Amino acid sequence: MNLTVGVLALQGGFSEHLDLLRNAVDHLSSTEVYSTTNFVLTEVRTPDQLAQCNALIIPGGESTAISFVAAQSGLLEPLRDFVKVQKRPTWGTCAGLILLSDEANATKKGGQELIGGLSVRVHRNHFGRQIESFESDLDLPFLQSESDLVPFSGVFIRAPVVEEVLSNNNDLRSPVEVLAKLPGRVNKMKSGLSQANTKDDAGDIIAVRQGNILGTSFHPELTKDARIHVWWLKQILNQQ
């Protein structure tokens, strides 16, 4: 079986994603089940390169810059088609999650173009500015088969959260699955209290999946941990 996985390489952490994809592929190729799979990993900057891909990662970075360059490169419509019409597996991290959402809050003045596909509304820069970046050990239940229960180090940099799952009763999309939450922080907008002193047991939604689309608020590509990449590739291969 052949699997070509692209990483949108317009801005942001694309080379870091490719490094982790290489690690994930090395790992999978050493297992009996996937030893015959032919993986091709590639940077995507043009519609032709996108058309070669069976699956795509949209990295973290700056969503406004990525969509601006995508529009300039004639990639915005092909990306929408790839995600929403052809429904090929697509994973967005941080800025990538924003781009894959149907709606975003706290957008650039004048609005910003999204690719869409996930029936959610994200809140950009939910935890504040760059200086308020943080790392947090995450319990990611979907990783259980890969993880031996070792927590995943979540890197949050001007990260969005999913503030609302939108009703999609009127379309044919699968329901949105909430895959992970970040407990122990509170939505400053709602409470007016400082994050550090308050707990919100419900937690912020930081990972979702809807059909072919996966979105995570944090940056696995800024760690050395390829478990989510391995898990995502396996999901794709098991559906082929």
The catalytic site residues sit at 94, 219, 221
3-state secondary structure of 63: helix
Query: For residue 218, what are the CA distances in angstroms to 193, 205, 226?
Result: 23, 11, 14
Quote the least distance from Cβ 129 to ligand GLN, whole Å. Answer: 9
Near ligand GLN by CB under 6 A: residue from 83, 94, 120, 228: 94
Size of the site for ligand GLN (CB under 6 A): 11
Residues contributing to the annotated binding site for L-glutamine: 61-63, 124, 157-158
Alpha helices in the chain (DSSP H): 14-29, 47-51, 63-72, 76-80, 95-100, 144-147, 188-191, 227-239
Decide: 56 and 41 in contact? Cβ < 8 Å. Answer: no
Q: Do the Cβ atoms of 221 and 228 come closer than 8 Å?
A: no
Per 3-state DSSP, the chain is made up of helix, strand and coil in percentages (nearest 5) of 35, 25, 40
124 binds ligand GLN (CB under 6 A): yes
- Residue 85 has φ and ψ, to the nearest 5°, of -100, -55
Contact set for ligand GLN, span 139-168 (CB under 6 A): 157-158
Nearer CB in complex with ligand GLN: 113/173: 113
Does 17 sit near ligand GLN (CB under 6 A)?
no
Can residue 70 be called a binding residue for ligand GLN (CB under 6 A)? Answer: no
Cα separation, 101 vs 113, in Å, equals: 11
Instruction: In angstroms, give the least distance from the CB of 183 to ligand GLN.
Output: 21
Q: Is 125 in the site for ligand GLN (CB under 6 A)?
A: yes
Single out the residue of 6, 61, 117, 211 in contact with ligand GLN (rule: CB under 6 A).
61
Task: Please report whether residue 25 would count as binding ligand GLN according to CB under 6 A.
Answer: no
Residues in touch with ligand GLN (CB under 6 A): 60-63, 94-95, 98, 124-125, 157-158
